[in-house]
Structures are given as C-alpha cells and as structure tokens.
C-alpha cells in the first residue's frame, strides 16, 4: 500500500457531532424542492428566481414560490458537481473571473440537471437586488434574457462610511418608491393585489423565525459550543427561502429544543474544544471537510457573520406605511455588507461576546464585495483585540481554487499561532 494513503487511512479523526434535527432539515428541503418542481408546471402557481438579500417576504406576501439559484448552486458544490457546470459556462465564453455561483447556475439550467445536485426550473419571472453584490444584477439580467421572462430589480443604495441620517432617509424614500413599483409589477404580472392582512401575517412569521434563529445562535457563546458551523451552514436554509411561512418556524423550534438540551448537558460539537474561531465569508461548499481539519486541531467555528446576517428581526406593530419604511431602513444595513467603519466594531464586539481566539477571513474570488477591505479588517482586529487573523484565498464553489495540503498547513500554522497567543 502507498505510504501516504496508509497514513491517511490510519489517521485518527476527531468526531464532529451533527444535530439530530438535521434529519428534519433534509426532509424539509426535499419537500420544498419537490413542490418547486410541481409548481413550476402548474399554470396558476407563480414561481420566481431571486437572490440573497432580496426580501423573500415580498414574494410570500403574494403566494409566489421563491426559487433560489444561489442556494441550488451550493448543492452543486457540496455534491461535487459544480466544476463540470462551471467549465461548461466558461466554454460558452463566460470568464473564469466571474462568480462561480453564476457559472454553476448557467450550467445547471442549460444541462437540466436533477434538483438534488443543484438543478432549477424556469421561473415565471426573476427579481433581484444589488445590495450585497453587483454580480446579482448582471447574473439575473443575463438569465432572464436567456429564458425570456420578466425581470424586476431593486436598486438599493450602499451606505458608505460617513453616511448621515439625512442621506439615509433619502435612501429610504428611494427604496419605498420602488416597493410601490414592485406592487404594480406583481399586479400587472399576476393580477394579485397587495393584502395588508397577508403582509402582516408574513411579517410576523418572518420575525418569529428570526427570533428563534437568534436564540439558537446565542447558545454558541457557551463553551463548549453545542452548535458549530457544520450545523449552521445548512441550518440557514429556512432563513433564505422560508421567512413568512410556518415550515421554518416548526423546524427551528425543534433545533432550539435540541440545542438547549445539549447546552444543559455541556455537550460540544467536538470532544475537546480548545480554540474558538470566527469564520467570515461563504464556506467552500466543495470542501466542507475543512471543518474537520479544524476539529482535528481542537478548533470550532462558533460564529459566522454570513449565517447570522440572514436573521434580522422584523418591524412589528406599525402601520403598513411605517412597516414598509422600517423594512427599507433595515434593508440598508446588515452585518454581511457593513461598510468598514461599521464592520470593524461589529467584529470586535462579536469577538468579545463569543470569546473568539482567532479569525479566518475568506478572500473569496467569487464574492469581491464582501472580500473588500479584509487587510484593513485583519489589521484592526489584531491591533485592537490582540488575536491572530488568517486570510485565505479561495472560492466558494470552484474547487480549482482549493489545495488540500496547502490549506491544511495553513490551518495548522494558524492554530499554533493561537496556541502561542493564549499562553501570553
């Protein structure tokens, strides 16, 4: 037997516990995508492609079934199917420098692959926003044109450093005008009018979902943490697609009950939690085993702005007009797309609350807006908090950008830095 293979086989791996309620998530996701297949073929059911940071509540309020190309692309990455789809898109002339989610979606739709590995049906229309990433706009424009379906784009201003309250209110006015245009767009397309009763119901259920998520998340402050990134990267599915309906709420209630039980029993994600990590950015869907590499070094990821950002509480108890304005204001600022002036104190507050020992920043080739300013962020954290920060250059869905041995060596060196730092 080859020596390196023998060593790999004989290597003792630390057990990483997965929540038992994950089995319900798999069932929830399967049922959701089966319905997506069915509704895409029923004339009186409307479906829409959308993207991250688009308020899914605005679809559920009209009983429009959301389809999410990004979420489907993560399935392709996790099931090791993304590379073939990306290379297909590049063969059509799309540059290697473009977003790997976008290219995965091009390949998945054109090749009509099964939904279990990231396939997605043609929608009745598309809707998006550039609030997180400018790629969303060109991506959905391109696909709407190729599929010949209507398109609605919310143009959301970015709050740069120094934005004052007067300017912020002008931004809110601008967004509110577009929300009313959205209502006209939906009526013209479907004949469905805005319903205050339905809107309030969706808003209440969305807030309840986020309330549960934030309570679940709070238990990660404990040591050992009963919940790890190996759970949360999938657990955000209800926040991405189900805010506004009951299914996600019922699931999170199960998750919360299990997390509370694990916390009471002082059971952590791994047997010996020594080092607590903050991971910034989208994970490498094609290499989720990186969490096991960290676990073998007794390290657990206990916070990710990426998964936390999907769960902001919603404005309740307001008039419809006030609710819409409050929603627009909320839309302007979320942790995942804070400007640097807000991002640094946010990170430092989290580092203190969650007792973080080190930070990993994913410089994602396919998510340039989120990767902007990482050097400044790293320097500020190291200066103010006195903990090590590692920047990793990779890609969320393109396995060509990840080298196992190099990354493993970097993790080991990083944990050694943390170890030495904790001795001081």
**pLDDT tens digits for range 9-23:** 445 577 889 999 999
Give mean pLDDT, residues 313-322: 94
Q: Is the pLDDT of residue 98 over 60?
A: yes
**pLDDT for res 12:** 59
Q: Residue 77: which residues within 8 A CB-CB, separation 6 or more? A: 104, 118, 284, 285, 286, 396, 397, 399
The answer to whether the Cα torsion of 201, 50, 18, 295 is positive or negative is: negative
- pTM for the full model? 0.93
For 137-206, the DSSP string reads HHHHHHHHHHHT--EEEE-PPP--TT--HHHHHHHHHHHHHHHHHHHHHHHHHH-PPP-HHHHHHHHHHH
Give mean pLDDT, residues 43-67: 95
d(CA 144, CA 126): 6
Give per-residue pLDDT as tens, 263-278: 999 999 999 999 999 9
By three-state DSSP, how is residue 392 classified?
strand
Give per-residue pLDDT as tens, 362-381: 999 898 777 889 999 999 99
Q: Residue 42 phi/psi, 5° resolution? A: -100, 125
By three-state DSSP, how is residue 49 classified?
strand
Considering only residues 3 and 50, tell me which one the structure prediction assigns the higher pLDDT: 50
Q: Is the pLDDT of residue 127 over 70?
A: yes
**pLDDT for res 60:** 97
For 256-269, the DSSP string reads HHHHHHHHHTT--S
């Amino acid at each position: 037997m080859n020596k390196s293979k023998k060593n790999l086989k004989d290597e003792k791996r630390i057990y990483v516990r997965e929540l038992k309620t994950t089995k319900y998530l798999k069932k929830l996701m399967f049922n959701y995508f089966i319905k997506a297949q069915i509704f895409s073929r029923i004339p009186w059911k409307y479906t829409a492609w959308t993207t991250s940071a688009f308020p899914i509540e605005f679809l559920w309020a009209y009983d429009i079934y959301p389809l999410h190309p990004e979420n489907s692309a993560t399935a392709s990455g996790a099931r090791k199917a993304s590379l073939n789809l990306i290379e297909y898109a590049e063969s059509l002339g799309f540059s290697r420098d473009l977003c790997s989610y976008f290219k995965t979606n091009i390949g998945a739709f054109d090749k009509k692959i099964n939904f279990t590995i990231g396939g997605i049906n043609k929608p009745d229309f598309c809707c998006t926003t550039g609030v997180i990433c400018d790629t969303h706009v060109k991506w959905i424009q391109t696909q709407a044109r190729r599929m010949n379906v209507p398109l609605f784009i919310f143009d959301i201003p970015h709050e740069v450093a120094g934005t004052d309250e007067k300017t912020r209110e002008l931004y809110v006015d601008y967004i509110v005008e577009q929300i009313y245009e959205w209502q006209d767009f939906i009526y013209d397309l479907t004949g469905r009018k805005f319903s205050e009763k339905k809107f309030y119901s969706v808003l209440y259920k969305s807030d309840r979902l986020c309330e549960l998520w934030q309570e679940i998340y709070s238990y990660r402050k404990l040591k050992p943490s009963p919940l790890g990134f190996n759970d949360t990267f999938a657990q955000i599915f209800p926040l991405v697609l189900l805010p506004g309906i009951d299914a996600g709420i019922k699931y999170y209630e199960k998750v919360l009950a299990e997390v509370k039980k694990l916390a009471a029993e002082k059971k952590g994600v791994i047997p010996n939690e020594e080092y607590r990590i903050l991971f910034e950015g989208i994970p490498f869907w094609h290499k989720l085993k990186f969490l096991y590499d960290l676990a073998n070094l007794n390290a657990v990821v206990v916070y990710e702005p990426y998964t936390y950002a999907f769960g902001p509480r919603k404005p309740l108890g307001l008039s419809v007009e006030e609710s819409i304005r409050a929603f627009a204001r909320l839309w302007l600022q979320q942790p995942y797309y804070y400007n640097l002036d807000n991002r640094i104190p946010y990170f430092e507050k989290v580092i203190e609350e969650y007792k973080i020992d080190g930070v990993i920043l994913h410089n994602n080739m396919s998510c340039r807006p989120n990767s902007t300013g990482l050097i400044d962020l790293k320097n500020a954290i190291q200066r103010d908090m006195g903990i090590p920060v590692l920047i990793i250059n990779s890609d969320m869905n393109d396995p060509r950008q990840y080298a196992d041995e190099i990354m493993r060596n970097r993790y080991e060196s990083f944990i050694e830095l943390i170890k030495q730092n904790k001795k001081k």
